[in-house]
Chains A and B, each alone.
Chain A
Amino acid sequence: MEVRGGNRRGTGHLRRVMNYRVDLILAEEQRNATVLNPRSISRIAIMLLVLVIGYVVFRSVYGFVNLQREVSWLQERWDGSGPMSQKATQVRDALTLNLGTMDELKGWKESRLDWHTQIQPLEQVVPVTIQLFTLTMQQTLTTETGPARSALLIVDGRSVGEQAGENVERLKNVFETAPAYSGLVKRVEVPMFTADTTPGASKADRRFRIQSAYTERHFR
């Protein structure tokens, strides 16, 4: 036990007063009475840290478990829809292929030409002063602007009389402008126009060739 004493001087007259404070607690047992002291702060801090770590760990584990559940649910959906999806892919591929085949069939229809409509007008339009020797039409398959049918119509003949040139020109115009050929023929030429040298021909008679190139008709 420790006894401490002291005196205090008053003013005016001398007065001796004795004060004693008695500490009944040992020095090493003495504690700070304030709530906020370094020890309590550090305890609170440690508890908060533990709580925060615990919360983070809990959230992570909870999230992880949820994620696992979600993945396994998605996997089940995928396992269920996978085979059906493969069938759907197969159907789509087949559709693409078959639409290609339809295009091919359409191309066959669109690339052809009704030749009776091209020959028929010749019966009416060829003047009596023109005699046709040969008519040839040759169709070729081209690929320059995509697969297409391209035709060339060649007419060889003789034009008799003084108007031979005009008659050939008129016939050429028929191939250029007659409704049966319009939109189908892209170019008409007369690559040959010469004197007719066959026996019996007059000086004014001419041999000619008219060549009509048809517009390419595409397969696709």
Chain B
Amino acid sequence: MKLPAAKSERVKIYVLIGIGSAGVLYAVWSVGISTMLEKQRKLVERRTELQENVQKAERKIGLMRGELDETIRTLQTICDETDKYVIRSTLGDNYLLGVTEKIEQMARTAGVTIDPPTQVGISDVPQSAQRPSKNILKLYTARVSLACGLSELVRFLRQIDTSSPYVCVSAISIAGQPESPETHRITIDIQWPSWAEKDTAEALKRQLAEYRGMRQ
């Protein structure tokens, strides 16, 4: 195409071409470039988010093996300890049957005669204000009465104290008997740990099996 001979006509055409180009550039900018930049901004945000997530996830996964082993070890210790030392109820809420057997065994070993133990009750361990967490154990207290001398009492208390690292003598009352100075009337309250929730032991075992399965 030939441009017009007259300069003024050519200038008009140049101006028109300029305006047209600016319009096209604006259209390209607004439709293409700015949309792309907006998408790009979102993609950059998403990339940052994904990078952080992936880094965190990979760090966690990296630590998982060690944490899994530690979880299994911890759970195993908890299961072993609680199986041995946490008392269980028999036939509903009857803990007394189980502890009576234990107390009678300890009394026999100490060589003292006891009256049939009685139940004092179940109570909560107070919560820590600094580290409030749900306790899995409660205190079960039973009372045992007997009449014996101080040496026999010490033997019996030793039996109780060494029977479990969790058992605790929570009250002792010794009263002298004027008619028999060598024999005292004694009452002892003994506390054992019992489950706060009855199915905790099974839940812990299930958890242990699950984590062992995860390791394989």
Binding site for B on A (CB under 8 A): 28, 53, 57, 60-61, 63-64, 67-68, 70-71, 74-75, 77-78, 81-82, 84-85, 87-89, 91-92, 94-95, 98-102, 104-105, 108-109, 111-117, 119-120, 122-123, 131-139, 141-143, 146-147, 149, 219-220
Contacts and interface: CB of A to CB of B under 8 A. Distances in A.
A87 B150 CA distance: 58
Given A81-B58, A112-B168, A120-B154, 6 more contacts: A60-B40, A63-B40, A81-B61, A98-B71, A111-B168, A115-B157
Given A114-B161, A119-B150, A123-B150, A101 B136 contact: yes
Contacts of A139: 168-171
B50 A136 contact: no
B61 A84 contact: yes
26 contacts: A64-B36, A64-B39, A64-B43, A67-B44, A71-B50, A81-B58, A84-B64, A85-B56, A88-B60, A91-B64, A92-B60, A98-B74, A98-B75, A100-B131, A102-B74, A109-B165, A112-B167, A115-B157, A116-B161, A117-B161, A119-B157, A120-B154, A123-B151, A123-B154, A136-B171, A141-B139
Contacts of B31: none
B40 A67 contact: yes
Nearest to A133: B176
Contacts of B4: none
Interface in B152-191: 153-155, 157-158, 160-161, 165-176
Contacts of A95: 67, 70-71, 74
A141 B193 CA distance: 14
Given A95-B74, A138-B171, A139-B171, A115 B166 contact: no
A207 to B, nearest CB: 14
B78 A136 contact: no
B193 A108 contact: yes
Contacts of B137: 104-105, 108
Nearest to B174: A135
Contacts of B39: 64
A88 B64 CA distance: 5
Contacts of B60: 85, 88-89, 92
Contact of A104 (B5, B135, B151, B165): B135
Main secondary structure on chain A at its contact with chain B?
helix
A18 B175 CA distance: 159
B33 interface: yes
B129 interface: yes
A117 B4 CA distance: 120
A199 B150 CA distance: 27
A196 to B, nearest CB: 15
B154 A119 contact: yes
B57 A78 contact: yes
A142 B174 contact: no
B77 interface: yes
Contacts of A102: 74, 77-78
B54 interface: yes
B113 interface: no
Contacts of A100: 131, 133
B154 A143 contact: no
Contacts of B51: 74
Contact of B168 (A28, A135, A149, A220): A149
Given A85-B60, A94-B211, A136 B54 contact: no
B94 interface: no
Interface string B51-93: 1011011101101100110110011011001100000000000
B47 interface: yes
B207 interface: yes
A146 B57 contact: no
B5 A28 contact: yes
Interface string B110-145: 000000000000010111111101011101000000
Given A71-B46, A132-B176, A60 B36 contact: yes
